[in-house]
Amino acid sequence: MPYEYEKNGQAIYDESFATIRREAKLEAFDKDEEQVVVRMIHAAGMVGLEEHVKFTPGMVAAAREAMENGAPIFCDARMVSGGVTRPRLPADNDVICTLHADGIYELAKEIGNTRSAAALEHWRDKLGGAIVAIGNAPTALFHLLNMLEDPDCPRPAAIIGCPVGFIGAAESKDALWADQPVPCMIVEGRLGGSAMTVAAINAIASRKE
């Protein structure tokens, strides 16, 4: 056996979080925010990510309260919805992704947008008090913001805005941060993705590390 390495899963887990807390600059975050950021760093394997994560005041508390009250969690991609750890959910919350719902391709053509954006039209009447998690598609986040310009559109309890990529990702998150239509969090710039978004959901869902 030429390679020696840690084989105890719990020890790996514990030391990973201890390493993050040793190395990351977490002073700017309150206790609830810190827990979310630490899990996001763990998911990304990237100390330094904390410098790009921003929360509106009370966002984590608002999102957690909504989950505890049974709010559904709307996700832009199956990689997000599939990554949510169901036993962590406080109220057996529904986790919903409509990207592959019937008629999405046709609707996307009709509205001249991506399937990721068109999928949000299935959420429109159900957004009230919900959690929205955008982890992949900037077009979905832009479309959500346009939907929320309508005063008759129900307001979600919180938005996790972490789309990733080179075209529109930074701009969509900048727009969310500028508008702040509801409590929200973002990862600035091109960074983001399913793993970070799922980590945020799971951390909000349960304080257990």
- Tens digits of per-residue pLDDT, 28-87? 999 999 999 999 999 999 999 999 999 999 999 999 999 999 999 999 999 999 999 999
Q: Mean pLDDT, to the nearest integer, of 155-166?
A: 98
Query: Per-residue pLDDT averaged across 85-113, rounded?
Result: 97
Average pLDDT over residues 166-178: 98
Mean pLDDT, residues 111-129 taken together? 97
- Closest alpha carbon to 39 in 13, 65, 75, 61: 13
Do the domain assignments include residue 18? no
Which of the residues 42, 52, 100, 122 is marked catalytic?
A: 42
Look at residue 88 in the predicted model and tell me its pLDDT: 97
For 27, residues 6+ apart whose C-beta sits below 8 A from its C-beta are none
Mean pLDDT of the chain: 97
2 within a domain of the structure (yes/no): no
154 in any annotated domain: yes
Q: Give the sign of the dihedral formed by CA 204, CA 158, CA 34, CA 199.
A: positive
What is the tally of structural domains in the chain? 1
51-54: long-range contacts, CB 8 A cutoff, minimum separation 24: 51/25, 52/187, 52/188, 52/189, 52/191, 53/185, 53/186, 53/187, 53/188, 54/177, 54/185, 54/186, 54/188
On whether residue 68 sits in a domain, the answer given is yes
Whether 5 is covered by a domain: the verdict is no
The pLDDT of residue 1: 74
Asked whether residue 76 is domain-assigned, the answer is yes
In which band, very low, low, confident or very high, does the pLDDT at 209 lie, cut at 50, 70 and 90? confident
CA–CA separation, 37 vs 41, rounded Å?
6
User: What is the model's pLDDT at position 96?
Assistant: 98
Q: Which long-range contacts (C-beta less than 8 Å, at least 24 apart) are formed by 109-114?
A: 113/139, 113/143, 114/139, 114/140
Q: Is residue 9 part of a domain?
A: no
Helix (H) or strand (E) holding 75: strand 73-75
Pairing of strands 53-55, 158-161: unpaired
Specify the CATH number for the domain of residue 48. Answer: 3.40.50.10230
Catalytic residue at 122? no
Cα within 13 Å of Cα(172), Cβ side: 29
Mean pLDDT throughout 6-16? 95
- Kindly report the number of other CB atoms within 10 A of residue 129's CB atom: 16
Query: In angstroms, rounded to a whole number, what is the distance separating the alpha carbons of residues 175 and 87?
Result: 33
pLDDT tens digits along 13-32: 999 999 999 999 999 999 99
CA 171/CA 190 separation, integer angstroms: 9
The residue range of the domain holding 124 is 30-205
